Amino acid sequence: MNFLAHSLIPELAADPGHPDLIAGGFLGDFVKGTIPENLPPGLATGVRLHRRIDAYSNAQPAIRASCARFPADLRRFAPIFVDVIADHLLARCWSRFSSMPLQIFTAQVYRSIARHTELLPEQGRRFFDYMAREDLLANYADAEVMQHSLRSVTRRLGRSALDRPLQITVERELENLETDFLVYFPDLVTHASNWLGRGPGSYPGVSADDEERS
């Protein structure tokens, strides 16, 4: 999952929601390997939850179905593309999952992360500044913002030649990808809720098995 999904899942899965889980979910893209012992408990659990969601999503049949919708020349990178597309689908289906207006939610997300930017590497701080300034999370509802993000992915992969076939595939398959999304996203929320509810203490769901994952 991508940034918007990793922000909403803990909000829906935790009872009550906690901003450090959301901030930890963002940190999860930048904290690799063993989680530092001095990381506050809420943030540490947010990082672990991020890793748990990613690990679980890799085996979800509906996500595999989405990946299989991409032609052979794109399929190697399809899991990355599906993550980005999921944020677009979540933004455009937002009212199915939250009664809070999207831009109010994203403003809360930015405030939650802003309290902990000193824990981010320079790359993470630069990206957060851009994300908050442009309200990228809310703007994922715009199909062109999604396509721009996909082009950024192919550029990082050194595969810009894939841009045109990727755009054509996404436009052709978007409704089918949304059908898949409406199956796998609620399942991710349920899995996250169950995971959070199994562990001890104020921030349940802590699993030592997840700490070495990146």
Q: According to the 3-state scheme, what is the secondary structure of 83-137? A: HHHHHHHHHHCHHHCCCCCHHHHHHHHHHHHHCCHHHCCHHHHHHHHHHHHHCHH
pLDDT value for 17: 64
In terms of residue numbers, what domain contains 186?
Answer: 3-203
Assigned domain for 7 exists: yes
Assigned domain for 208 exists: no
Mean pLDDT of 168-182: 97
| Total number of domains constituting the chain | 1
Assigned domain for 108 exists: yes
Assigned domain for 102 exists: yes
Assigned domain for 79 exists: yes
Mean pLDDT of 36-58: 91
Query: Is pLDDT of 97 > 60?
Result: yes
Assigned domain for 116 exists: yes
Assigned domain for 14 exists: yes
Mean pLDDT of 40-44: 90
- Mean residue pLDDT across the chain: 89
In this structure, the dihedral spanned by the alpha carbons of residues 55, 60, 66 and 72, taken in order and rounded to 10 degrees, is 70
Query: Is pLDDT of 199 > 60?
Result: no
Structure tokens at 75: 């399929």
